Structure formats: structure tokens, C-alpha cells
Amino acid sequence: MRAIKIHKTGGPEVLTLEEVSVPSPGAQEALIRVEACGVNFIDTYFREGRYPAALPYVLGQEAAGVVVGVGTEVSAVQVGERVAWCGVPGTYAEYAVAPVGRLVVLPQGLSTRMAAAVMLQGMTAHYLLHSTYAVKAGETVLVHAGAGGMGLLLTQMAKRMGARVITTVSTAEKAELSRGAGADEVILYTERDFAEAVREATDGAGLSVVYDSVGKTTFEGSLKCLRARGLMVLYGGASGAVPPFDLIRLSTMGSLFVTRPTLKDYIATREELEWRAGDVLGWVADGSLKVRMEHAYALADAAQAHRDLEGRKTTGKVLLIP
Ligand code: NDP
């Protein structure tokens, strides 16, 4: 089978398409023919070596497809069922194995492309809004990169919870998309100081929570958007890692809280995984959560997909189709 493997860390050029053997499922695993895999920023962090992993390996950790084989102890899924999963390495490939406890069977009518597009980012938006901080109706939240994969989902989900959503984006075109997802106010952070704009939009009060996935270039401004005892949710670093930070500043800025959450800790039990995946896939299936999928690349073009994602050229979800 064909797969995108990396032998050394670095830029997108380290992604190489190779012929490798089809993996065999362990006793509690399934073998899946991958129909679509999600491209996520975390893949670029692994590719660069920001997150360590033993080389060489097949990149990617989100996909959906059809079960074609199961291990000796598997009864929860059958050959022929359509499934999706995330957080398991090795998905930039024509076939992948995954522990059966991580698989979610797709509802009728939901395509594997759609499922691969929403598993990781949808469940992330779900935990950020329900569990990292429980957003209440009437509250105002700030979502950076509002036209990105995460941004569009966070905005729609926060709106369905009754929140007022302020987003930031880099271009007028992205502003349109963000408004289309329900954003109440959109700030062009390439043109004006977003912290100042947020203060104005909240009559000086500031926010209880900021969702920041941009990191290096927005972190300081995001802190300035918070009211006393507000929560800074730093959930990514699309612009780079935030430099070391002196914690005493949290006290001088108003007894602030900071968290750096990651999905695996919010789907650690089967119950939690089913809750989040059930909500997200259910909303997509009933049409109440829209997923923008304008960027589907052939598996062989994985390097270009990374370039475009990192180059701020994509909006919504980026997929690879084996
Ligand atoms: P996006 O589609 O949001 O792409 C990243 C966006 O960040 C860009 O489109 C761009 O939007 C903005 N951005 C601002 N500055 C830069 C920069 N210097 N370089 C690149 N992009 C920049 O990506 P995803 O939806 O895939 O992921 C968004 C973030 O969410 C990532 O940081 C990722 O790590 C994080 N994430 C975290 C998870 C977790 O559990 N912690 C799980 C899933 C994702 P604009 O042009 O409008 O500024």
C-alpha cells in the first residue's frame, strides 16, 4: 500500500510517498481501508519535531474508512462497517490499524469524508466549550483564526450554546466566512490591535474566556482581553510556540488562569469519546453543524497540503484522499 512516511524531521519536503506493507491488526485492533484522512496542525508539529516520536513512521492521526479486518478479540465492530477515529498515529495511508476502543461507527448518511473532516476538530471544539470552560448563554467569547478548521466549528458550537462570539481573521474574505459561521463581531487582527477592539466590543469589561490557537503572535494580546479571573485557553501554536512566561504576571493582570489542553485528555474514557463524537457526528448528520471542506488533496500531495495549511492559505478542513 502507499503511505506518507517521514524518516527525518523538518519542513514539508520530508513527507515522502512510499510503498509499505499493509499493517496487521493486533488482537483488539481493526484494519481499516482509509477513505479520507484529516490533516491537522499537530501533524506539522510532529513533522517538525516539536513533538518527539521515534522515526521513521507514517504521519497522520485522523481518518475514516471501512473495516476490512479485525483482531481475534474484537466484537464491537464488524468487517464492512464504516468507522472514524483520531489520536492514533499512522493515518496518511491507504490502510491503517486502530484500537477498537477508539473507533466510532458512523451514523447512516454521514460520508467518510465528512467524518474524517470533523472527528478531531469537532471533538476539540466540543471539549473546549463544554469542559475546559463551560460557556454559558449570553457570555462573550473570543476565538482566534475564525475561518480556520477549528475556528468555524468553535464559532458554530458557541453560537448554539447561546454565546456571543468575537473572532479574529487575517483577510476580508476570511471575515466573510467567519460571519457566515455565526460570528457576531470579526476583527481583522492584521489591521488593528485585537485586544483594544475586544475591550471596545465589551465596553471595557473584557472576557471570561479566550480560545487562542495562534500562540506566539497573539498570546500577549489575548491575556489583555481577559477580565479579572478570566481563563486563557491556549490550545495551539499556529504562529509558533509561546516563549517562557513568568507566572507572577497572571497575578498582576487580574488573577488570571491559563490552561494548555489537548484532546487526548478529554476523550480518555470510552464514555467521554462517545459523548463528544455522538454530539458532533449527530449535529453534522442532521445538518445543524456545517463543515467546510474545500481543500481535499491526493495522498501524494501531502507536502502541499502542509504548505497550504501552514501558509494560511486554507479555510475550514484540509483532507487527504488516498
Ligand atoms: P487552521 O485552519 O485554524 O489554520 C491555522 C490558522 O491560524 C491560519 O489559517 C491563520 O488564520 C492562523 N494563523 C495566524 N498566524 C499564523 C501563522 N503565523 N502561521 C500560520 N497560521 C497562522 O488550523 P486547524 O484548524 O487545523 O488548527 C488550528 C489550531 O488548533 C492549531 O494551532 C492546532 O494546533 C490547534 N488544535 C489543538 C487541539 C488541541 O486539542 N489542543 C486539537 C486540534 C487543533 P488567519 O489567516 O485568519 O490568521
Enclosing domain of residue 76: 2-119+267-321
Residue 55: pLDDT band with limits 50, 70, 90: very high
Q: What pLDDT is attached to residue 204?
A: 97
| Top mutation candidate among 37, 39, 41 for ligand 1, by most atoms within 8 Å of CB | 41
Q: Looking at ligand 1, which residue's alpha carbon is closest to its atom 10?
A: 312
Instruction: Give the model confidence (pLDDT) of 200-232 as tens digits.
Output: 999 999 999 999 999 999 999 999 999 999 999
Angle at CA of residue 154, ends 238 and 150, nearest 5°: 30
- Looking at 238, 260, 282, the residue that finishes a domain is 260
Q: How far is the CA of 239 from the centre of ligand 1 (A)?
A: 8
Q: Whose CA is nearest to atom 31 of ligand 1?
A: 236
Give me the number of domains the chain comprises.
Answer: 2
- Per the prediction, the chain carries an average pLDDT of 97
The domain boundary, picked from 239, 260, 281, lies at 260
pTM across the whole model? 0.98
For residue 129, the CA-to-ligand 1 centroid distance in Å is 17
Q: Tell me the pLDDT tens digit for each residue of 135-173.
A: 999 999 999 999 999 999 999 999 999 999 999 999 999
User: What is the arithmetic mean of pLDDT over 306-320?
Assistant: 97
Which of 215, 235, 260 is a domain's end point? 260
Q: How confident is the model at residue 289 (pLDDT cuts 50, 70, 90)?
A: very high
Q: Assign 140 to helix, strand or coil.
A: strand
User: Are residues 293 and 37 in contact, defined by beta-carbon separation less than 8 angstroms?
Assistant: no
CATH number at residue 206: 3.40.50.720
Q: What is the pLDDT of residues 226-259, one digit of tens each?
A: 999 999 999 999 999 999 999 999 999 999 999 9
Count helices and strands (H / E) in the chain.
9, 16
pLDDT at 86: 98
